[in-house]
Amino acid sequence: MIQVQHLTKHYEDLHRGLFAAVDGVSFTVGSGEIFGLLGPNGAGKTTVLRILSTVLTPTSGIANVAGYDVGIDPAEVRRRIGFVSNNTAMYDRMTAWEMVEYFGRLHGMPRDVLAERLETLFSQLRMNDFRDVPGGKMSTGMKQKVSIARAMVHDPPVLVFDEATLGLDVMVARNLLSVIRDLRECGKCLIFSTHIMSEVERLCDRIAIMHRGKILDSGTLEALRQRHGQEDFEELFFGLLSDHERGDCERVDCERDNDQTCGASA
Ligand SMILES: Nc1ncnc2c1ncn2[C@@H]1O[C@H](COP(=O)(O)OP(=O)(O)OP(=O)(O)O)[C@@H](O)[C@H]1O
């Protein structure tokens, strides 16, 4: 359902010059699967997810969603993907129902199909008790449900959750994880990005650990534990990150030595 091969995205900023925010990333995600992207701030998770949802174009590599390449058929990709972030910005005067309906119209859904879809979604996400509450009067949990509903209104086979539990209290976060599990049961293809280890441990079928634009390792939790001979996932995660950082430092030292050697011989 999702295929990503050698995906790279370069940015340029004042401090770092040209750098790879995403550096040769490859993974696949199937239907009925929750794939976790786990990494610290700045690892490159959001950049990968924005490329998948066609908001950003990659510098190189391939990203394919439900059979469509993000660069060649972005409109087809957008029809098949929903994006949920922690940004729950709402229109204060629109009710929950009106907001989700509005997004359905943006997707060009016919009126009768949309009305039926809204009924299904509001029941599935247990939103009927606040369908007439305006954005300005919603709790954070209500807003998060509206965000999920508007990402799902066109019934996409692929759903992306980018740090979606950030800022939610434990009850709301727990409820969101259970909604995601239900979506897996419906056969959806799901990517869940987070920096919270316990969330991927509890939720994800496979996990990719990202750091400084690269996937350091990926697999089921069990496979990762066996490969690294480490039962404690937190230890495993930090071990991988520090090995990678050490490797980076050694590479920089080596390049500096080479430069000096070259300079001396010139
Ligand atoms: N438009 C941009 N221009 C320059 N650098 C950027 C831009 N957007 C992101 N970056 C940098 O790219 C790197 C990856 O950022 P990204 O947002 O993808 O990471 P992330 O894993 O999602 O982290 P976070 O959880 O903090 O959002 C970071 O170093 C970030 O500062």
Q: What is the DSSP letter of 129?
A: G
pLDDT in tens, 231-245: 999 999 999 999 888
As given in the structure block, the two tokens for residue 144 are: 């998060």
Whether ligand 1 lies within 6 angstroms of the CB of 65 is answered as: no
Query: Can you tell me the mean pLDDT for 88-109?
Result: 92
43 CA → ligand 1 middle, Å: 7
Residues 210 and 42 sit within 8 Å (Cβ to Cβ): no
Pocket test for ligand 1, best of 10, 25, 37, 41 (most atoms within 8 A of CB): 41
As given in the structure block, the two tokens for residue 207 are: 């996990």
Strand order in the sheet with 60-65: 17-29, 2-13, 60-65, 68-69
Whether ligand 1 lies within 6 angstroms of the CB of 165 is answered as: no
Q: What is the mean pLDDT of the chain?
A: 89
Query: Three-class SS of residue 32?
Result: coil
58 CA → ligand 1 middle, Å: 14
Helix axes 221-228, 233-265, angle to 10 degrees: 60
As given in the structure block, the two tokens for residue 100 are: 């989700």
Domains and CATH numbers, the chain: 1-80+158-251 (3.40.50.300), 86-155 (no CATH)
Whether ligand 1 lies within 6 angstroms of the CB of 39 is answered as: yes
pLDDT of residue 264: 43
Q: CB under 8 Å to 61, separation ≥6 — which residues?
A: 4, 5, 6, 7, 8, 24, 25
Query: Can you tell me the mean pLDDT for 31-38?
Result: 96
Q: How confident is the model at residue 85 (pLDDT cuts 50, 70, 90)?
A: confident
Whether ligand 1 lies within 6 angstroms of the CB of 11 is answered as: yes
pLDDT of residue 169: 79
The gap from C-alpha 66 to its chain's centroid, in whole angstroms, comes to 16
pLDDT of residue 134: 96
Task: Write down the pTM of the prediction.
Answer: 0.87
Atom 7 (ligand 1) nearest CA: 11
**C-alpha to C-alpha distance for 119 and 133, rounded to whole angstroms:** 16
Whether ligand 1 lies within 6 angstroms of the CB of 82 is answered as: no
Atom 17 (ligand 1) nearest CA: 46
Element (H, E) at 21: strand 17-29
Which ligand 1 atom is nearest residue 47's CA? 18
Q: How confident is the model at residue 263 (pLDDT cuts 50, 70, 90)?
A: very low
CB under 8 A, 24+ apart: contacts of 56-59: 56/9, 58/7, 58/8, 58/9, 58/22, 59/8, 59/9, 59/10, 59/20
Helix axes 96-106, 140-152, angle to 10 degrees: 20
Which ligand 1 atom is nearest residue 11's CA? 4
Whether ligand 1 lies within 6 angstroms of the CB of 43 is answered as: yes
